[in-house]
């Protein structure tokens, strides 16, 4: 399988604190890859380095065989890496469709002057943005919420809106930070199904998740972090039977695959 993203000796310091130290892994195209570990293990920090929010102190990140270290988040987004966050992000005062349209503008090719002058090209691009945003909302099951104030969506639907916003940028890789957090069982099952549907669209996923039954059932490969270092990597079966992982994170009462 073709490697989509490769992490080499990824390291970051915050003052005297080493938050992530020489982490290495690679994700092949079309996989669902999970990062797990205790709180403070460095999982979100790794995602923040991949999408350009943090610049690594050392190491390298290559996406489609090109280094993306030092690139700004919007450039990385244009290259095909989209991101959702632990805390749902809502553009206040905009409806659900407009929230998705904001993300879609990363694919804009019309210059600002043409937009201000409302040239035919600018008007066509705006129609295209609306269409792509609508398609993303239909994909996640929120088509009937398009005109609703995004701030008034229930928590679970805000998470779906964030995924739609990522999809609207036409990503090759989506970084999902705790997609099931705060959801009930029905919503979690819907997210699992949605993640599989996204992968079926030839989109690769890296996810952080504390719901271990979800992780073990949905992931192709898993990387375990603890205190900023990688302690294990493998298939779900290999991870759930790894004594170091059981001791550091899963616990001896972990029930395994469900």
> Residue 258's pLDDT band (boundaries 50, 70, 90)?
very low
| % pLDDT > 90, the chain | 72
- Of 3, 40, 46, the closest CA to residue 22 belongs to 46
CB pairs under 8 A, 24+ apart, for 138-141?
139/164, 139/167, 139/197, 140/164, 140/167, 140/194, 141/190, 141/194
- The predicted pLDDT at position 89 comes to 82
Reported as a single tens digit per residue, the pLDDT across 163-180 is: 999 999 999 999 999 999
Residue with the bigger pLDDT between 220 and 108: it is 220
Residue 119 in this model has a pLDDT that exceeds 90: no
Q: How far is CA 103 from CA 4, 38, 129, 189, 253, in A?
A: 23, 31, 9, 26, 42
Asked whether the whole model's pTM tops 0.75, one would answer yes
Helix (H, G, I), strand (E, B) or coil at 215: helix
> Residue 103's pLDDT band (boundaries 50, 70, 90)?
confident
Are 188 and 214 spatial neighbours (Cβ–Cβ below 8 Å)? Answer: yes
Task: State CA 208 to chain mean position distance.
Answer: 8
Fold of 1-80+171-258: Rossmann fold (3.40.50)
Q: In terms of C-beta density within 10 A (0-12 exposed, 13-18 middle, 19 or more buried), how is residue 14 classed?
A: exposed
- The predicted pLDDT at position 257 comes to 43
- Domain boundaries, given as residue ranges, for the chain: 1-80+171-258, 90-170
Over residues 9-34, the mean pLDDT reads 96
Cα–Cα distance for residue pair 67/231, rounded to 1 Å: 25
């Amino acid at each position: 399988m073709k490697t989509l993203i490769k992490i080499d000796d990824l390291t970051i310091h915050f003052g005297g604190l080493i938050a992530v130290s020489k982490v290495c892994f690679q994700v092949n195209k079309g996989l669902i890859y999970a990062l797990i570990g205790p709180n403070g293990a460095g999982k979100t920090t790794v995602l923040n380095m991949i999408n350009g929010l943090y610049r690594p102190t050392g190491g390298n990140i290559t996406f489609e065989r090109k280094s993306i270290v030092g690139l700004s988040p919007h450039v990385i987004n244009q290259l095909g890496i989209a991101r959702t966050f632990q805390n749902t992000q809502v553009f206040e005062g905009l409806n659900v469709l407009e929230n998705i349209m904001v993300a879609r503008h990363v694919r804009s090719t019309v210059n600002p002057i043409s937009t201000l002058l409302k040239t035919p090209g600018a008007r066509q691009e705006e129609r295209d943005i609306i269409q792509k945003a609508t398609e993303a909302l239909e994909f996640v099951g929120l088509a009937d919420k398009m005109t609703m104030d995004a701030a008034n969506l229930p928590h679970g639907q805000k998470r779906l809106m964030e995924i739609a916003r990522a999809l609207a940028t036409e990503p090759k890789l989506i970084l999902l930070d705790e997609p099931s957090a705060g959801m009930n069982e029905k919503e979690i099952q819907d997210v699992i199904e949605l993640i599989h549907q996204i992968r079926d669209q030839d989109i690769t996923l890296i996810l952080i998740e504390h719901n271990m039954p979800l992780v073990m059932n949905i992931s192709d490969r898993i990387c375990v972090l603890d205190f900023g270092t990688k302690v294990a990597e493998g298939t779900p079966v290999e991870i759930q039977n790894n004594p170091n992982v059981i001791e550091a994170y899963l616990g001896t009462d972990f029930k395994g695959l469900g």
